[in-house]
Amino acid sequence: MNCPFPKRTFIRNAIACVFSLGLLFALVSNAHAVQQQVAIGRIIRIELPIDPARVTGIIRAIETTANELGETSNATRNCLVLQFGQTGAHDQSAYEDCLKIAQIVRRQTKVEMVAFLPHDLTGHSVLIALACEQIIPKPSSKLGPVLEPSDKPSQGIQVTYKEVGQGRGYPSAFVSGILDPSEPIYIVENGTKPIVANQSELDALEVKNKVTTILDANAATGIDGAILRKHELVTYTASSRDELAQHLQVATDRFRAVTVAEAEWSVVRINIRNNLHPSYCNEIKRMISDALSRKANLVLFDIDTTGGDINGSREIAMLLASSDFRDVTTVAYVNPKALKDAALWVMACDTIYMSQSANLGGRGNLIVDRPGLIEDLKQMKRNNGRNWSLILGLIDPNTTLHTYMNRDTGETRIFCSEELTEADDEDLWQEDQLVDVSDGLESQQAFAMGVADRVVTNIEDIAATFGIDPEQIQNIQRPPLSRFLTSLANNTILMGFLFMVGTWCLISEITTPGLGVPGFVALVTLTIFFWAQIHNDTAGILELLLFIIGVISLVLEIYVIPGFGIFGFGGIVLVFTSLILATVNFMIPSSNFEWNELINNMLTLLLSGVFTVTLFLVLRKPLSRMWFAKQLVHTEEENTPQREWNEAMVHLEHLVGKMGKTHTRLSPAGKIIIDGEVIDVISDGDLIDAGTKIVVNEVTGNRVVVRRKT
């Protein structure tokens, strides 16, 4: 029986089916790849009118940012947005200055140049907008006119405007009408694409029965964004930065502002080292104020810190986000770490660079004032556009982050629960993957997520990006005394040595009667040790009190309450606890890093204590022969003959059988009173409370053994 489908037809259909499936797979894969590509956007704010002193800074900002975006490894084309500020009346920016900027804008081919008009744009600043590839106005913002109604453009200005405008695809009549308010602009509906025409062009058209529309808002009053969009003179309108980012297909957390310097770069460098603590944060703020007083327009923070003061970091971050830094570019160079709360003010900077092995954020402490911190982060986002949910996750271990995908646009963003709840389009965001930043971000991770602007090798790379000679960078130093004290407090070898000497002398002083040189040395060395921990904000009054109470408890146990009871055990626990708390800046560990830090510090302290005690016991006798060591270590070798003579003169055999009363608790050693005389004794094994009647059971030399009287 013959097959109803010939073999050749079957093969042809099979090949077509496989090809179709392969094509479908390729299209889906390509669509997914495009969806995963994330463009980067930067915004340069141009304040109006343009001050001639700022022209160089604007040009340098455009060139520097465009080059940086162009070098970014990204399959999509990144965007550079010029956001024009508000002017009270007609903009008075000089034509020559605007022309210089427009020429630079036209040369940028590696990035997409966009003009964003949140306010009316008039005057020659319009020329800069025309030089961009796109103009995206707010629906209510008007474009034009360039000249006042009483002015007429020169031939040269007309040629320049037409050349710039037509080079970006704008109709000649539109450019002429925007330039000269006396020329109306017409829209001719000819059944295909509307034609934009001026009066002479309209007269030359054979429109007859065609509908002719005169643009109501002509160049005399400016043309608002809604009309520009209606007649396809602009592609989009946008009412906010988020809407602008959506049109440009830029992730909102990668859409950040770039500060424009007033003139040539005046750069200062502030080195941040060691742990952050209140006094150090205050010094950092003073150094920042010093930078502003020097009229610096670029502040470079060279950072290597583990953080440690969330309140101080918040104050620094809000200072960098304040209006004082509107005309100052702030650059953070993480080299090699900015852990915990230090990430807060790093993320407040305009630009972030990280070294190859750098780490940012993570391992943070619990946040007490979370609502207040969130308000600060929102202010930072309004200033530089950074994702505040991600910043919160980097410094607060209790923050859970997820990626969410917008069902309508396909955009992917990172949200914490608070930011998602506040989103107007909350229902459109679909939860995707968990984002774990509890251990911070390494440099490549930070770059991939848009947190770091670039991974660099050294500070010279950053200087080259801004066209700065490294030798022209001014260093702002902390006061010499402050630097010395900080270096002293952070010298772990020195602090370890002081701790060992202090412990040694403390043991020597406690285990021998009287006060001497060991007690004084222990007081000085341990005071310096605790001062260093307080200076680093890892110790406070609590740790100091615990240590003092622990030492007093040990002294009471040794001299007042013979034996080893609650005071002895409690004293050791209190001393150990105080030393542990003095080496960390948290009370209760709340992250894996803090647990590891606590365990490592406990082991280090325990081994140090064992080593010190062992060394004390081993070297006690050899050191007794050295004059200096004799002052630090009480020895009884030199008193041995006298002690033996005294012991030989003591005869206590007459006490056998006598009755008395315990003066202290016998556990088993202690003191008794017989015939008004206090005598050191030991019990026959029982623990006997103070005030109990006893009987002397045995005397051997000066060793007196007693038992409870039955």
Instruction: Mention every residue, 6+ apart, whose C-beta is less than 8 A from residue 704.
Output: 652, 655, 679, 680, 681, 682, 696, 698
- Nearest-angstrom CA–CA distance, 251 and 79: 11
| High-pLDDT (> 90) share of the chain, % | 15
**Contact assessment for residue 50 and residue 58, using Cβ atoms and an 8 Å cutoff:** yes
- The predicted-structure confidence for 664-678, as pLDDT tens digits, reads as follows 878 778 888 888 888
To 10 degrees, the CA torsion angle through 655, 660, 664, 670? 20
Helix (H) or strand (E) holding 670: strand 669-674
Q: Using the 8-state DSSP alphabet, how is residue 626 labeled?
A: S
Poorest-pLDDT segment among 67-76, 202-211, 219-228, 495-504: 202-211
Mean pLDDT score, 208-233 = 70
From the number of C-beta atoms within 10 Å of its C-beta (0-12, 13-18, 19+), residue 437 rates as: buried
DSSP 563-611: S--HHHHHHHHHHHHHHHHTTSS-SS--SHHHHHHHHHHHHHHHHHHHH
The verdict on 246 and 153 lying in the same domain is yes
Residue 1 lies in a domain: no
Same domain, 236 and 271: no
Mean pLDDT of 60-85: 82
Question: Tokens 């009987």 identify what position?
Answer: 695
Q: What is the pLDDT of residues 519-578, one digit of tens each?
A: 777 777 777 777 777 666 666 677 778 878 887 887 777 666 655 567 777 777 887 777
Query: How big is the CA angle at 487 (ends 482 and 491), to the nearest 5 degrees?
Result: 150
Both 236 and 105 in a single domain? yes
Establish if 201 belongs to a structural domain.
no
Mean pLDDT value across residues 106-112: 90
Is the model's pLDDT at 105 over the cut of 90? Answer: yes
Cα–Cα distance, 685 to 667 (Å, whole number): 8
Higher confidence at residue 508 or residue 181?
181
Shared-domain flag, residues 293 and 350: yes
Query: Does 699 have pLDDT greater than 60?
Result: yes
327 or 623, which is more confident?
327
Can you give the pTM of this predicted structure?
Answer: 0.57
Percent of the chain with pLDDT over 70: 74
Over residues 606-656, the pLDDT tens digits come to 776 677 667 666 766 665 555 555 554 544 444 445 445 444 445 677 788
Q: Is residue 172 part of a domain?
A: no
Query: Which range (9-18, 173-182, 351-360, 691-700) has the least confidence?
Result: 9-18
Q: What is the pLDDT of residue 637?
A: 46
Return the H-helix or E-strand segment holding 81: strand 79-84
- pLDDT of 681 reads 86
Pair (603, 501) in one structural domain:
yes
The pLDDT of residue 566: 75
> 632, 659, 690: which is the final residue of a domain?
632
Question: Are 503 and 572 contained in the same domain?
Answer: yes
The answer to whether residues 253 and 111 belong to one domain is: yes
In sequence order, which residues have a C-beta less than 8 Å from that of residue 699 and are 6 or more positions away? 652, 653, 655, 656, 705
**Same domain assignment for residues 295 and 342:** yes
| Helices assigned H by DSSP within 385-491 | 388-395, 417-422, 443-448, 459-465, 480-489
702 and 609 in a common domain: no
Mean pLDDT of the chain: 77
- CATH number assigned to the domain comprising residue 655: 2.40.50.140
Between residues 314 and 569, the one the model is more confident about: 314
The CATH code of the domain that includes 316 is: 3.90.226.10
**Helix extents (H) in 449-516:** 459-465, 480-489, 492-510
C-alpha count within 13 angstroms, C-beta hemisphere, residue 155: 0
Q: Is 45 within the bounds of a domain?
A: yes
| pLDDT, tens only, 344-368 | 989 988 889 999 999 998 866 666 6
Is position 388 within any domain? Answer: yes
The whole-number pLDDT of residue 535 equals: 62
Confidence of residue 95 (pLDDT cuts 50, 70, 90): very high
The pLDDT of residue 192 is: 67
Q: What is the pLDDT of residue 16?
A: 43
E strand or H helix at 68 = helix 55-71
Q: Are residues 72 and 136 in the same domain?
A: yes
Q: Does one domain contain both 295 and 387?
A: yes
Question: Where is 247: in which H helix or E strand?
Answer: helix 241-247
Could you tell me the residue range of the domain that residue 363 belongs to?
267-397+438-478
pLDDT in tens, 238-271: 988 878 888 888 877 677 777 665 557 889 999 9
Query: Using 50, 70 and 90 to split pLDDT, how confident is the model at 332?
Result: very high
Total structural domains within the chain: 4
Bridge partners for 251 per DSSP? none
In a shared domain, residues 449 and 597: no
Q: Name the maximum alpha-carbon separation found in the chain.
A: 145
